[in-house]
Amino acid sequence: MTRQRTSMRKLREILRLRLHAGLSVRQVRDSLRVSIGAIQKVTSAAEQQGIDWPTICTLDDSALAQLIYPKADSCVSSRLELPDWTAVHKELHKPGVTKHLLWEEYTQHYPNRCYSYAQYCHLYMEWQKKQRRSMRQTHIAGEVLFVDYAGQTVPIVCASTGEIRFAQVFVAVMGASNYTYAEATLSQTLPDWLGSHARAFSFLGGVPKLIVPDNLKSGVTKACRYEPDINAAYQQLANHYGCAIMPARPRKPKDKAKAEVGVQIIERWILARLRHHTFFSLAELNHCISALLKDVNSRPFKQFTGNRQEWFEQLDKPALGRLPREPYQYTYIKMVKLNIDYHVQYDEHLYSAPHQLVGEKLELHATDNLITLYFQNKRGASHPRIHRRGISTTPEHMPIRHEKHHKWNRGRLMNWAKDIGSDTLAWVVRLLDSKAHEQQSYRVCLGLLNLTRQYPPERINQACAIANQQQLDRLKNIKSILSSNLDTLVQEDDNLPALPQQHENIRGPNSFH
């Protein structure tokens, strides 16, 4: 009864200070340590009932509680009402919800049968101790998605060859609701890893604020407890979906406890059930996983009411961020240097970039359909991706004022080679004709041009003569001839006098019988 009197006494004090003393809401809050919302709710209820302070003084606790809280249980009983701790635990996952707010709502519902705030917190802590240890970790709704691969793999048999490949099982678990997603991929490589993330977000229908992966090489380039290096493509996926990546610390399994439990559940309730099945394709395996996944998410909790699907609909789904208009497409990223011909090579095809960037390091992003070049995080060029040998040149990338130094073509290369010598011209023409696209040989010709800074034209022409004679069409062959002075040895042999073929001291085969 002491707690009931304390609660009603505070209620009367709020009304006295507001209606009789005329204090402001903030002054009442500072005096009684009660939230502004509770003060406003009590005051508004009194004004709606049209009661003033003299009238309140004539009412007992039950009558006053009935006026202020008409829908609440106002019967006086010596038995205090115990809160629904499962509901309290679920509400605490929601952003901005605190134990003090829930206690105030609880006291408003049971004004005469409520526990004090200190006792309320103590009973909640005692209830938590009786739950599983994993439940001690509190996750805000829609905040964290834990991802990992299951240790167990699933064999897939090739129907035509009988070859067996072992599929990897990707698992993603929401922190607040334990809602789980799983799928099989052929590997743990970066394209499969990122593709699984994109499909997991589509399955959830939204994007969480944080992704917590293990220190898998596909996701984390360099594992570190404090500053792990995130793979560039993985970071690009996070930027595309507007979320952040927070890898678990090395050798700290508690950082990804949800993923560990999720993997265990998938292995027990899905993979174990499929152990006697033989799969002949990845699609067939994923179809079975998808069917069993519905059963996993609809299975009732053992410690709480409801299931993963219900908790996800109530907690995580409303708090998830929006999906972007287009799903993420895997992008291969590498650093390249723009050559003197203002082209970079990717997968045997050449792509142009602004000639002003010659010699600079560019970041190349390659998707299935597009090649994009970035310089200092700004897009410098983009091309449709061509899956064959060739060259793609944008006219705007070609130099105008410095065309003499940058714009090369077959005629100019042949004129330059002719100035060095006929053998050089023959070697250059043979090289240009040997390529399906002559632009592919421009770099080698320009490399030969640079050799004139180190060797005289006569030596280069002689080296080309030797290369033509031996059918050598690589620049390193020319360099090897020049560095070993083979071209000079040939010249010396040409200048030697011819030896006589008839002499008295020379004996032929007739001398030996």
Task: Report residue 85 CA to chain centroid gap.
Answer: 37
What digits encode the pLDDT tens for the residues 419-462?
888 888 898 888 888 876 666 677 788 888 888 888 998 898 88
What is the count of structural domains for the chain?
4
Flag whether the pTM goes above 0.85.
Answer: no
Residue numbers of the domain that contains 342:
332-404
Same domain, 373 and 268: no
In 81-223, which ranges are continuous DSSP H helix?
Answer: 85-91, 99-109, 117-129, 190-204
The mean pLDDT value for 498-508 works out to 62
Confirm whether 452 is domain-assigned: yes
pLDDT of residue 384: 93
What digits encode the pLDDT tens for the residues 309-356?
988 998 888 989 999 988 888 888 889 999 888 899 998 899 999 988
Place of tokens 């917190």: 121
What digits encode the pLDDT tens for the residues 34-93?
888 888 888 888 888 888 888 888 887 778 877 777 765 544 444 788 888 888 887 887
Confirm whether 326 is domain-assigned: no
Place of tokens 């003060």: 39
Q: Please tell me the least confidently modeled range out of 146-150, 204-208, 299-303, 353-357.
A: 299-303
**Is the model's pLDDT at 357 over the cut of 80?**
yes
Find the CATH number of the domain harbouring 244: 3.30.420.10
Our separate counts of H helices and E strands in the chain read 21, 15
pLDDT of residue 439: 67
Q: Give the rounded percent of residues in the chain with a pLDDT score beyond 90.
A: 17
Contacts of 460 (CB under 8 A, 6+ apart): 420, 421, 424, 448, 451, 452, 478, 482
Nearest CA-CA partner of 478 in 437, 421, 393, 403:
421
Burial class (CB in 10 A: 0-12, 13-18, 19+), 510: exposed
Place of tokens 């060859």: 161
Do residues 388 and 417 touch, judged by C-beta distance below 8 A? no
Confirm whether 87 is domain-assigned: yes
CA distance 61 to 328: 62
Please provide the size of the chain in residues: 513
Same domain, 395 and 443: no
pLDDT of residue 405: 44
Same domain, 165 and 309: yes
What digits encode the pLDDT tens for the residues 147-173?
999 989 999 998 888 889 999 999 999
Same domain, 305 and 158: yes
pLDDT of residue 372: 93
Directed axis angle between helix 457-469 and helix 486-495, to 10°? 90
Confirm whether 502 is domain-assigned: no
Q: Which amino acid is at 453?
A: R
The beta strand positions in 186-293, using DSSP E, are 210-213, 220-222, 229-230, 244-245
Same domain, 218 and 294: yes
